[in-house]
Structure 1
Amino acid sequence: MESRAQERLAPIRLHCFPHAGGGAAFYGRWRRHLPDGVVVAPMELPGHGSRLQEPPFDDFEPLVEHVARRVRADDGHRVVLLGHSFGALLAFEVARLLTAAGRLPAALIVCGRDAPTVRSPTPAPHELPDDAFLAAIRRLGGIPAELDDQLDIVRAYLPALRADLLMADRYRRGEGPALDLPLLAFGGVNDGLTTSDGMAAWQQETTSTFELTILAGGHFFVRDVAFLDILCHHLDRFGTEPGHSRE
């Protein structure tokens, strides 16, 4: 009988797209926790993290094309896309673009964001003055406690954060069919930026399997061990099931 390692199919590259203003560093921490055969590929966007000196995108369509080119260049792996909040919209649109180019990802995982057809239940704060803007982001838990007394560092990320929130506010789902891939959606029970109906509406975006999981926590539940445990379970399953990728 074949071992689990022998059964495993082509390795998975998990492309991770961050929340508004977020960087790749958070997802890099997952490397030591994920199953064998899963390679984490955190996406660093211009103006974010290690690319802080580059101007951020403020137009969503060119950003999607920029990211899709980087994902498409990744040969030899089955692609799984994961996005949190703003990153969920980015992952969804990248999946659509890859599909149109003949490379359907193995799966799409979206977290902390209502479906693309659903408008956000809270006003976008991107036009607020800096102090009010920072206060709004802090209420969402978007500023780690260790940075509360390092506002100079936080302010360096404001241009990218404002640009991401502007793109999210302007975003409208374009015409086009649902995807034909497994879609997993995760929400936080105390997340004020999503609704139960809005998260459930992700089911309309796939003709394949759909699973919705609501976890304890607020908007940044993806930082919790409970989420990582469930994610590992699904990735381990994807690693031994035939994928949907088409080269």
Structure 2
Amino acid sequence: MPQLSTPGPDTGAVAEDASQDLPTLLCLPHAGGAARAFAGLEAALPRAARTALLELPGHGSRMAEPVRDDFGAVFEDLIRSSAPHTTGQYVLLGHSMGAAFAYEAGRYWSALGRPPAGVVVVGRNGPTARRILPDLHTLSAPAFLESVRRLGGTPPQLFEHPELIKLFTPVLRADFTISETYTPLPGPPLDCPLWVCAGVDDPMVDDAGLRDWEHHGAGDVAIEWLPGDHFILDDPAFHAYVAGVLRTLPRTGTTH
């Protein structure tokens, strides 16, 4: 199990002396995504939250580390990096693959008496919903890359340069393996507010799938459709949605 005292970088926090009473928003990226995917959201919320953009091994600023395709191994890494941010008021936010990690991290910290003020899951059907799209991680390399390209969200230039394809294909395949083979970990459902949202044109979710989250939250579960497709992280409507979630949190004083 992860060591809860292990420190992790707070890559998204603003100056502590100006934001002691702000909640921390811990952001977990989609398959193939890096922490910088949330840079627009971070810039949109300077007075609403301190942001912690959590990076996965083998991604973004941690590209030199080995990429992992095992949910449990990546989850332990995320628990270590999130630990320093769970002593005050915080919210977990995960997009697509990151939504599964945010949900499980919320359950983990709740079981240890450090529950989040809420969890926001974006662009992912519930853990026990039927899958809409066929699995991609088992496809041959050409079919896999073409399927990823059609989903959007990946820079087009990646598919035009063999050296980039060679660099990023293992990362994408590992992440899709994690995302497509994930099943809920043992234990009770999430016992804190759960906010569920997705773009109305997202091909990876449907109404029944989003409502599956209602079976995995013991507290309030709110579901909302937003403008856009699967990749809505930079959409002003999404930024406004997250700001609205943060406004519902109870105010807290400075913690020491």
TM-score (normalised: structure 2):
0.84
Provide the residue aligned with 2:60 in structure 1: 49
Shift of 1:37: 4.5
CA shift for structure 1 position 221: 2.3
Q: Give CA-to-partner distance per residue, 1:87-117, whole Å, 9 cap, x none.
A: 0001111111111221101110001111111
- In the TM superposition, what are the counterparts of 1:97-246 in structure 2 within 5 Å? 97-145=108-156, 147=158, 149-150=160-161, 152-238=163-249, 241=250
CA–CA separation in structure 1 for the residues paired with 2:172 and 2:132:
19
Q: What letter matches 1:222 in structure 2?
A: L
Range moving further from structure 2, 15-24 or 34-43: 34-43
CA RMSD, Structure 1 to Structure 2 (Å): 2.1
2-structure distance, mates of 1:105, 1:59 = 25
Unmatched runs of 5 consecutive residues or more in structure 1? 1-7
Structure 2 unaligned residues grouped into runs of 5+? 1-18
The 1-side partners of 2:228 and 2:116 are apart by 29
8 Å Cα contact 1:21-1:158 kept in structure 2: no
Paired with 1:158 and 1:26, the residues of 2 have a C-alpha distance of: 18
Give the corresponding residue for 1:32: 43
Q: What is the deviation of 1:9?
A: 8.3
- d(CA) in 2 for partners of 1:148, 1:94: 33
Which of 14-23 and 125-134 deviates more? Answer: 125-134
**In 1, Cα distance between the equivalents of 2:132 and 2:37?**
26
CA deviation profile, 1:9-54 (whole Å, cap 9, x unmatched): 8321111111111101121232221051511111110011111121
Aligned-partner residue type, residue 184 of structure 1: W
Distance between the aligned counterparts of 2:161 and 2:112, measured in 1?
Answer: 44
Q: Taking structure 1 as reference, are residues 124 and 223 closer, same or farther at Cα in structure 2, changes over 3 Å only?
A: farther
Quick check: 64-73 or 139-148, which moved more? 139-148
Q: Is the 8 A contact 2:107 2:191 kept in 1?
A: no
Secondary structure of 1:120's counterpart equals coil
Native 8 Å contact 1:9 1:242 kept in 2: no
- The separation in 2 between residues aligned to 1:68 and 1:9, in whole angstroms, is 23
Output one character per residue of 1:121-175: Cα deviation in whole Å (capped at 9) or x when no partner: 2112112233322211111113134655445335422212111111222211133
TM-score of the two chains, using structure 1 as the length reference: 0.87
Asked if structure 2 preserves the Cα contact closer than 8 Å seen for 1:83 and 1:110, the reply is yes
Q: Please state whether the residue corresponding to 1:102 is helix, strand or coil.
A: coil
The more displaced of 53-62 and 82-91 is 53-62
Q: Does residue 78 of the first structure (1) align with residue 111 of the second (2)?
A: no
Q: Does 1:93 align with 2:107?
A: no
Instruction: Tell me if structure 1 keeps the 8 A contact 2:86–2:116.
Output: no
Count of matched residue pairs: 234
Is the CA contact (8 Å cut-off) linking 1:48 and 1:157 kept in structure 2?
no
